[in-house]
Chain A
C-alpha cells in the first residue's frame, strides 16, 4: 500500500518520469495539499508508460578527480496497465539491468522485482560462472554500482518514511521539506526538494546533516521530451562526505516498447534479449 517518493532517482529520472501532457498537472490556482504533490511526484514519476528502456552512462569522479565509467541498459516493466490514473496506488515493477561497461562486468545482469509491501527480490547473473545468484536485500542507502547514487535513489524511497511539508511555492517550484520518521536509519536529518510545478520533476534535492549543513545535492541538468513525456536525460549527484560526484546520462530512451513480463526472468539472465539491449 506504500507509494514511493521520487528522489533524485536514476530510474525515475531516466525512464519513468513522464506526464500524459506537458501541462496536465498544472496547479497554479489553489494550492494542492502537500500529500497530493508528493504522491503525484512519486506516482507520475514511477508509473508513466507501461514500460521503458534507456542506455545509462555514469561518470563517477572521486575527490581527486579520477573518473570511472559505468554503462548499462535498463529495461522496466510495470504491473499496472498504462491507463492507471496518476493518483492511483501504483503497483509492482520489474527491472532488468544489463552492464556494458566496465569490461570486467560486461554481460553481468541485475534483475529486480520491486515490491510495494515487502523487500525487493534481486538476482545477479555472473556470466563467467553461468551463475544466477540471488542477492539479499540491502540497506537502501548503499551505493549503486559504486556511484554517488544510492539504491534508494534508484528504486525510490517510501513516502511513508518521511513527513512532508510544503515550505514554499515559487513561480516554478513547490519546495518540500522532508524529515525522516526514523532518523537512525538514515544519514541525513532532512532533505529539501524543488519540484517543478508544471512537470512535477524534482529539479534539485539537497540533503542536510545533523549540523544543518548541506552535504549531498542532486540536480537535474537536462530535460528532453520523449514520446511526449518530459524526461530527465542528464543529472548529477554530489556528495561532500564521499567527495566527488556522479553524472548520469540517459540515451536511447524509449517508452511503451511492449516488453513482455517474461523477459524479467532467469531465462533472460542466461540468454539476454539482444533486440532490446542494442
Chain B
C-alpha cells in the first residue's frame, strides 16, 4: 500500500516538474506558466507555527552510537594474532547545560575480542570502559572559558601529522582501523581560554602526564631496538611512565589571532615525549624523556584552497648535546600543506613534513654498533583524496604517506556509506610498505590489515 502511494507520489512529482514549465526553445522557456502565489503571499500571512522540541523531553541530552568492527591481517605476523580488530562498542553521551555551565559525559562500553586482558584501566583506556569525556565547560567571566576534566584536545594545522599538538593520540586506533575520532585520546586537564581584542590565549595544564596510547606490542608488531628485530606479543614493551601528580605534569599553551582571514598561532609545550622513545638500561624499561616544544603556524586561503605552514623546535632536555643514544636528539620539524577542491566533490590535500635531527653527528658517533641510523633528515609526503558520491552518502577516501628518506609508505583507503540517518557501514585498509624493518612505517609491515564496520547512531 505504501509502495503504491509512494509510486503515485513519484509520478505526480515527475509529472509536476514537467507540467510547471513545458519544454520550449531556449529564450522562451516557461513564459506562459505562472506559479500560484504561495500561502502567505498576497493573502495575509498566518502566525508562525509552534515548533516541536528538538529532543525528547529528557532533563539532559542523550546521544551516541553502537558499532561492531572486524579487522584481519592481510599477511601472517609471527608476533600477533590474525584478527587485528574484533570489537563491539557502545558510546553513550550525556550533556546538560545550565546558564553558565555545561556538563558533558561520554563513555564507551566495549567488548574487545582480540585482547586477552579485560581489566578496566580508565587512565590508559583499557578494558570494557573507555571514558572519553567527563568535563565541565564554564564561562565565569565574559573573556574566559574554562574546561576542566577529561577532554579531547586538538590544535595545530596538520592532517594526521602533528607538530605542536602534543595532546595524547592513539596510534593503535589509527593503524587498526577504528573510527578516525579515536586517533585522539583524552587528557585529564584544565584548559583556560582567554579572549582579548588583540590575541587569544589557551593554557592547558595536565597535572599528571597523559602519554599517547602508544604501540606496545600487544596489538601491533614493530621494531624493538633492544632486540634488533620486529617484536609484538612476544616482547610487550615495559615502560616507566612519569606518574607523580603535580610533579610529572604537562603545560601547553597557544597564543593566536586571525589577521585578514589568516590564522596565526604561537605554541609552547613542556612535558615529556608522548611515546616511550627513551630507554633506561638499569630497569630495562622504555621511558618518556622530558621534552619542551616551541612552534608557530599560519593557515589561510592560498591558490584557490587552504594553505598552511607549521614549524616546531623539539628540545629534548635530557640530551641537549645529542650524544645520549638512549634519549632522542633535539629536532626541528616543519610541515607545509595545501588542500583544495580539484573538481566538484573531489578534494585533494597534500603535505610535506620534514623532521631534522639537530645533532646527528653526535648521535651517529654514540650509536651502539649494529643499531640502525635513521639519518639526519626524515622527509614525508602525504596525499589525501576524498570523493563524495551519491548525494554525499558515499565517501571514498585515500590517505597515503610516503617517505623517500625511509623508503616506506602507509596507505589508508576507506569507503564509508550512510545507509540512512542512523545506519552506516564502512570498509577500509591500513597498508604498510617498506623494505627495512626499522623505519617508521616499514616496521609495521606485518600489520597490514583490512577492516569493516557497521554503526548505528542515535
A positions within 8 Å CB-CB of B: 55, 60, 62-63, 65-66, 68-69, 71, 100-104, 106, 113, 118-119, 121, 126, 128-132, 134-139, 141-143, 145-147, 167-168, 170, 172-173, 175, 177, 189-190, 192, 194, 196, 198-199, 201, 203-204, 206, 208, 211-215, 217, 219-226, 230, 232-233, 238, 240, 242, 245, 251-253, 262, 265-267, 270-271, 274, 278
Whether B30 and A240, one on each chain, are in contact in the complex, defined by CB atoms closer than 8 angstroms, is no
Tell whether A134 pairs with B41 under 8 Å between CB atoms, given A104-B65, A206-B29: no
- A143 to B63: give the CA distance in the assembly, Å: 27
Query: A170–B32 Cα gap in the complex (Å)?
Result: 10
The distance in angstroms between the C-alpha atoms of A167 and B29, with both chains bound, is: 10
**Cβ < 8 Å to A, chain B residues 405-458:** 418, 420-422, 424, 455, 457-458
B154 touches A267 (CB 8 A): no
Among the listed B17, B347, B424, which residue makes an inter-chain contact with A240, where contact means beta carbons less than 8 Å apart?
Answer: B17
Q: Which residues of B contact A215 (CB under 8 A)?
A: 17
Q: Measuring CB to CB, which residues of chain B are less than 8 angstroms from any residue of chain A? A: 6, 9-10, 13-14, 16-18, 20-21, 23-27, 29-31, 34-35, 37-42, 44-49, 51, 54, 63, 65, 97, 102, 137, 139, 145, 151-155, 157, 180-181, 183-184, 193, 195, 200, 256, 258, 261, 263, 299-301, 304-306, 308, 339-341, 343-345, 347, 391-393, 418, 420-422, 424, 455, 457-458
- Is the CB–CB distance between A212 and B24 below 8 Å? yes
Whether B421 pairs with A101 at a CB distance below 8 angstroms is yes
CB atoms of A65 and B9 under 8 A apart:
yes
Smallest distance from the beta carbon of B29 to chain A beta carbons, Å? 5
Closest to B261 in A: A121
Asked if residues B31 and A175 are in contact (CB atoms below 8 Å), the reply is: yes
8 smallest CB-CB distances across A and B, nearest first, come from A223-B40, A128-B181, A146-B392, A103-B457, A225-B45, A102-B421, A204-B35, A136-B305
CB–CB B41/A103 < 8 A: no
When chains A and B are docked, how far (Å) is the Cα of A232 from the Cα of B41?
A: 9
CB distance from A71 to the nearest CB of B (A): 7
Contact, CB under 8 Å: B17 / A131: no
Q: For residue A262, which residues in chain B have a CB less than 8 angstroms away from its CB?
A: 195
Is B35 a contact partner of A192 (Cβ separation < 8 A)?
A: no
Whether A145 lies near B392 (C-beta < 8 A) is yes
CB within 8 Å for A253 and B48 given contacts A204-B20, A223-B39: yes
Q: Are A137 and B153 in contact (CB under 8 A)?
A: no
Kindly identify which residue among A130, A204, A213, A251 contacts B23, using a CB–CB cutoff of 8 Å. Answer: A213
Find the residue from B44, B152, B343, B421 having the highest chain A CB count within 10 A. Answer: B421
Give every chain B residue within 8 A of A147 (Cβ-Cβ). Answer: 391
Q: List 11 A-B contacts (CB under 8 A).
A: A121-B261, A136-B305, A141-B344, A192-B29, A204-B20, A208-B29, A214-B30, A215-B17, A220-B41, A223-B38, A267-B193
In the complex, how many angstroms separate the beta carbon of A108 from the nearest chain B beta carbon? 12
* Minimum CB–CB distance for B179 against chain A, Å: 8
**Contacting residue for B183 out of A65, A129, A266, CB 8 A:** A129
Among candidates B183, B256, B306, B343, residue contacting A136 with C-beta atoms closer than 8 Å: B306
- CB-CB under 8 A from B137, the residues of chain A are 271
Nearest B residue to A265 via CB reads B258
* Cβ–Cβ < 8 Å partners of A208 in chain B: 26, 29
CA distance in complex: A274, B55 (Å): 14
Picked from B21, B31, B37, B391, the residue with its CB within 8 Å of the CB of A203 is B37
Partner of B51, one of A201, A232, A242, A251: A251
Output the nearest chain A residue to B35 by Cβ-Cβ distance.
Answer: A204
Give every chain A residue within 8 A of B41 (Cβ-Cβ).
196, 198-199, 201, 203, 220, 223, 230
Is the pair B341, A103 in contact by a Cβ cutoff of 8 Å? Answer: no
In the assembled complex, the Cα of A214 lies from the Cα of B151 at a distance in Å of 52
The residue that B29 contacts in the complex, of A68, A106, A177, with Cβ under 8 A, is A177
Report the bound CA distance from A232 to B54 in whole Å: 21
On whether the beta carbons of A130 and B39 are closer than 8 Å, the reply is no
B457/A102 in contact, CB under 8 A: yes
Chain B residue contacts of A204, Cβ below 8 A? 20, 35
A66 to B17, CA, bound (A): 19
Q: What A residues does B29 contact at CB under 8 A?
A: 177, 190, 192, 206, 208, 212, 214
Q: Which of A55, A221, A225, A270 contacts B38 (CB 8 A)?
A: A221
| B154 and A129 contact, CB distance less than 8 A | yes
Measured CB to CB, the nearest residue on chain A to B181 is A128
For B183, the chain A residues whose CB sits under 8 A away are 129
* Most chain B CB inside 10 Å of its own CB: which residue of A134, A201, A217, A242: A134
On chain A, the residues within 8 Å of B422 by CB distance are 102-103
- Chain B residue at minimal CB-CB distance from A173: B34
Q: How far is the CB of B91 from chain A (nearest CB, A)?
A: 9
Q: Given the known A-B contacts A62-B391, A129-B154, A170-B34, are A252 and B341 also in contact in the complex, defined by CB atoms under 8 Å?
A: no
Q: Which residues of B contact A60 (CB under 8 A)?
A: 391
Cβ-defined contact, B301 with A121, below 8 A: yes
Query: What is the distance, in angstroms, from B185's C-beta to the closest C-beta of chain A?
Result: 11
For A254, the closest partner residue in chain B by CB is B48
- Give chain A residues whose Cβ lies under 8 Å from the Cβ of B261: 113, 121
Whether A222 pairs with B23 at a CB distance below 8 angstroms is: no
Cβ of B391 to closest chain A Cβ, rounded Å: 5
B-chain residues with CB within 8 Å of residue A126 when the two chains form the complex: 181
Chain B residues whose C-beta falls within 8 Å of the C-beta of A198 in the assembled complex: 41-42
Given contacts A104-B424, A119-B301, A212-B25, contact A136 B38 (CB under 8 A): no
Q: How far is the CA of A132 from the CA of B306 in the complex (A)?
A: 13
Which residues of B sit under 8 angstroms from A232, Cβ to Cβ?
38
